[in-house]
């Protein structure tokens, strides 16, 4: 029996929801830990900022130097582009796994053991 909410649209909605939660929480925690001046806070900010890496890479490719990150409008692009990239990446991985699982469950996929 196939559940009612099992199409690609539903997976896209969940991918966007998970990406939005990860990027929002990561951004808030990085901002929280960046106000403290300690080695532990720096390490925590780096670890908790992992969901922001796709956006950081995307923005650095188009604006080049790291000095550009100290400008306000460019900093706002990092969470936005991280959300888009993370959502697309999650959706692509989820679709791939879903299609592989469907292929494994197909009625013609027997083991053919001799």
CA-to-CA dists, residue 5 to 49, 86, 92, 96, angstroms? 32, 22, 18, 18
pTM summary value: 0.74
Give the model confidence (pLDDT) of 38-88 as tens digits: 777 778 778 888 888 888 888 888 877 656 556 667 778 888 999 999 999
């Amino acid at each position: 029996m196939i559940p009612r909410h099992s199409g690609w649209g539903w997976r896209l909605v969940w991918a966007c929801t998970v990406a939005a939660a990860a990027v929002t929480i990561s951004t808030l925690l990085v901002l929280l830990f960046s106000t403290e001046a300690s080695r532990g806070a720096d390490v925590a900010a780096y670890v908790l900022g992992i969901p922001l890496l796709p956006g950081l890479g995307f923005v650095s490719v188009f604006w080049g130097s790291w000095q550009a990150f100290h400008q306000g409008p460019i900093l706002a692009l990092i969470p936005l582009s991280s959300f888009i990239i993370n959502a697309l990446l999650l959706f692509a991985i989820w679709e791939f796994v879903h299609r592989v699982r469907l292929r494994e469950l197909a009625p013609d996929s027997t083991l053919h053991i001799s």
